[in-house]
C-alpha cells in the first residue's frame, strides 16, 4: 500500500446494499481515487444475507470498476482502516436523524486512530429506504428489487 492515491474505506453492514449506498460510492469516487467497501461482521447485529454472499454480490456488481474493492472484516473499523492503510473513512447520511450517530462514530474513530471521516449526503430519493425497511419488506414477501442497485443480485 502507498500514499500516492487518496484511498477511502466505506464500512457498513450493507444488509442489504441499497441504491443509497451505491450513490455514496458513486459520489465518493469523485473525491477519492480508490474506495474499499468493507462489510463488517458484528455478531450482535442479526444478519439477513450471509456475509460471504454480501461480499460476492458486491464484487460481482463492481467487477468493472477497478477503483472499488470489496472486503469483509471482523475487527474494529479503525484497526481495519489502518491495516489496509486508507486515509479517510467514508460514511453516508440519509437524513438529519443519522447526524448525531455519524458524528459520534467519526469522533471516536478520530480519537482512536487520527483518521478523518468524510460524510456525504445520499440523493434524497435514494436515501429514504434503509436496509432495515428492505429486510422487513423482504420478510413479508415483497419484491425488493427496486430498492437495490440495478444489476446487484443476491443468491439467497
Smallest gap from residue 16 Cβ to ligand ADP (A): 9
Contact of 154 with 16, CB cutoff 8 Å: yes
Contact call for residue 14 and ligand ADP (CB under 6 A)? yes
Identify the DSSP state of 136. H
Contact call for residue 21 and ligand ADP (CB under 6 A)? yes
Selected range binding ligand ADP among 7-15, 25-33, 66-74, 78-86, rule: CB under 6 A: 7-15
Contact of 113 with 82, CB cutoff 8 Å: yes
Pairing of strands 34-40, 7-12: parallel
Please identify, using beta-carbon distances, which residue of 7 and 147 lies nearer to ligand ADP: 147
Angle at 52 between CA 143 and CA 22, to 5 degrees: 55
Catalytic residue among 45, 63, 142, 145: 45
Rounded distance, CA 57 to CA 151, Å? 9
> For the window 107-126, what string marks contact with ligand ADP as x by the rule CB under 6 A?
---------------x---x
Q: Which residues are catalytic?
A: 21, 45, 94, 131
Amino acid at each position: 500500500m502507498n500514499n500516492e492515491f487518496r484511498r477511502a474505506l466505506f464500512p457498513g453492514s450493507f444488509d442489504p446494499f441499497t441504491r443509497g449506498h451505491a450513490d455514496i460510492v458513486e459520489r465518493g469516487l469523485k473525491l477519492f481515487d480508490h474506495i474499499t467497501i468493507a462489510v463488517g461482521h458484528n455478531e450482535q447485529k442479526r444478519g439477513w444475507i450471509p456475509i460471504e454472499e454480501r461480499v460476492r454480490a458486491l464484487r460481482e456488481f463492481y467487477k468493472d470498476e477497478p477503483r472499488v474493492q470489496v472486503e469483509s472484516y471482523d475487527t474494529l473499523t479503525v484497526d481495519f482502516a489502518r491495516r489496509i492503510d486508507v486515509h479517510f473513512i467514508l460514511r453516508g447520511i440519509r437524513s438529519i436523524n443519522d447526524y448525531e450517530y455519524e458524528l459520534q462514530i467519526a469522533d471516536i474513530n478520530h480519537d482512536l486512530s487520527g483518521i478523518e471521516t468524510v460524510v456525504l449526503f445520499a440523493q434524497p430519493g435514494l436515501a429514504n429506504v434503509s436496509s432495515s425497511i428492505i429486510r422487513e419488506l423482504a420478510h413479508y414477501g415483497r419484491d425488493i428489487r427496486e430498492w437495490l442497485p440495478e444489476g446487484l443480485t443476491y443468491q439467497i
